[in-house]
Every structure is written in structure tokens, then in C-alpha cells.
């Protein structure tokens, strides 16, 4: 997909909550249908924070969007993208708005992304045709960052050196490689299928508040009216 396509959009991280999560929930849950509220709660409770995805210099907006949509489908709420000189873009018709519900972290270089994930206890595992570990082995690791490199060049030498190990996506046919978004989908299924939602109570409430903000038209106005009726500043 050409990067000048009008269907593309920039990637941005989620903004901070403008009010305490408790106030947002109390104000907005009153104007959301019970069925919708139940769905938001279900998704928040199923979020898996012990798995994340890293895309290093993936340049095709279709691939970027497909990986994000697949990540959301598997309960992953956080995706990291490393620019390496090429700004990540999304194909909106592919994401279908899933980026609204996710945290997208943009890094201008590999090192800060790696250091940040390691500091949070993640092991980085790189998808590679010659990978030495199986997905079943990777799935046993407590906190995993699945890394996928550029569509043509693969991962950088710096990223390879930083990873705990490499894994291969199993294939039984004549093909020797898969599109990065397909490989990510297979890997995510294998690594998340036996992991329940693992957010803490405070994190779930913050996510519930964020989801409600995304679900209500002009949420700030609704919250401000709710706060005024209770004498809050």
C-alpha cells in the first residue's frame, strides 16, 4: 500500500485521562447501555499485559494495521513501533478503529524500546525463519515481547543482539516465509491462548474509564455536568 494513500492515519498514543477514573466511570456509565457497559468490562478484564508486540521498521501500513487489529483480537492492549527513519502509518480500513482501544508506543530508535521493555520485565523474542525456539516454549515465558522486523530486511543487528532468543512460525507447506501480519497472528494465538486477563484492579478501572470516554459523544461535557451537580471543582 502506498504511504500517500488517503486512507492512512498517523499513530498516536492514548491521551491521559482528564479526570479521575472513578469520576469518569460514575458519570459515563449512566449514559451507556447496559449491554455496551458489559462488553467494555469484558474486554478490560480479558486484557493480557504479559504479552506485547514490537514492530521494528515495518513500513507497509496494511501490515502495521493488520498486526494491531490481530493484537487487539488476542487481548493485547499495547504495541510498540520503532521508526528507524520511517514514520509508522495505519490503514484505517484494516484497523476498523481498534487503535482507539489500544496503547501505541512510538520509538525513534531500537535501544530505548528495548531498554524500556526490559526494565518492565519483558523478554524479547524475535520471529525468524531460522528461529531456535518453538512458540510453545516462548509461551511459557512469564512476560514476552514478540518482535517482528522489516518486511524485506528483517530485524536490525542491534535488535537481534538484544533479544533473548528467536522463534520460528511452523510451516508444513512449500512456502518458506509468511507475511509479517500472518506470522504475528499465529504467534499471538500460540502465546496468549492459555493466558487469562492479568491487569490489576486499578488498571482495569483506568481502562474501563478510557473505554467509556471512547464510547460516549462529548464525554468531557457529560463529566463536567456530573461533577457540577455534585459540587466538584
CA separation for the pair 181, 13 (Å, rounded): 21
Domains and CATH numbers, the chain: 8-14+46-195 (3.40.1280.10)
Task: Give backbone dihedrals phi and psi of 54, rounded to 5 degrees, phi first.
Answer: -125, 125
Convert the pLDDT of each residue in 160-204 to its tens digit.
Answer: 999 999 999 988 887 777 889 999 999 999 999 999 999 999 999
Place of cell 484492579: 201
Q: Describe the strand order of the beta sheet including 144-148 as a list of residue ranges.
A: 103-107, 78-82, 51-56, 144-148, 123-127, 165-167
CA separation for the pair 42, 191 (Å, rounded): 20
Convert the pLDDT of each residue in 38-67 to its tens digit.
Answer: 999 999 999 999 999 999 988 888 888 899
**154 touches 133 (CB < 8 A):** no
pLDDT bucket at 205, cuts 50 / 70 / 90: very high
pTM: 0.88
Amino acid at each position: 500500500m502506498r504511504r500517500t494513500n488517503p486512507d492512512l492515519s498517523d499513530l498516536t498514543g492514548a491521551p491521559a485521562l482528564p479526570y479521575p477514573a472513578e469520576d469518569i466511570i460514575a458519570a459515563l456509565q449512566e449514559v451507556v447501555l447496559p449491554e455496551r457497559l458489559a462488553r467494555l468490562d469484558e474486554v478490560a478484564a480479558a486484557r493480557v499485559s504479559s504479552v506485547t508486540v514490537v514492530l521494528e521498521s515495518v513500513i507497509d501500513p496494511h501490515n502495521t494495521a493488520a498486526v494491531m487489529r490481530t493484537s487487539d483480537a488476542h487481548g493485547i492492549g499495547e504495541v510498540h513501533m520503532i521508526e528507524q527513519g520511517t514514520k509508522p502509518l495505519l490503514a484505517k480500513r484494516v484497523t476498523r478503529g481498534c487503535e482507539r482501544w489500544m496503547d501505541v508506543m512510538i520509538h525513534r530508535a531500537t535501544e530505548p524500546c528495548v531498554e524500556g521493555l526490559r526494565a518492565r520485565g519483558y523478554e524479547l523474542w524475535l520471529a525468524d525463519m531460522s528461529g531456535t525456539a518453538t512458540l510453545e516454549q516462548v509461551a511459557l515465558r512469564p512476560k514476552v515481547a514478540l518482535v517482528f522486523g522489516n518486511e524485506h530486511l528483517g530485524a536490525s543487528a542491534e535488535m537481534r543482539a538484544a533479544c533473548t532468543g528467536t522463534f520460528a512460525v511452523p510451516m508444513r507447506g512449500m512456502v518458506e516465509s509468511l507475511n509479517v501480519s500472518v506470522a504475528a497472528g499465529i504467534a499471538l494465538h500460540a502465546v496468549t491462548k492459555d493466558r487469562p486477563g492479568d491487569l490489576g484492579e486499578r488498571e482495569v478501572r483506568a481502562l474501563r474509564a478510557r473505554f467509556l470516554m471512547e464510547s460516549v459523544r462529548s464525554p468531557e461535557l457529560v463529566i463536567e455536568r456530573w461533577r457540577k451537580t455534585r459540587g466538584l471543582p
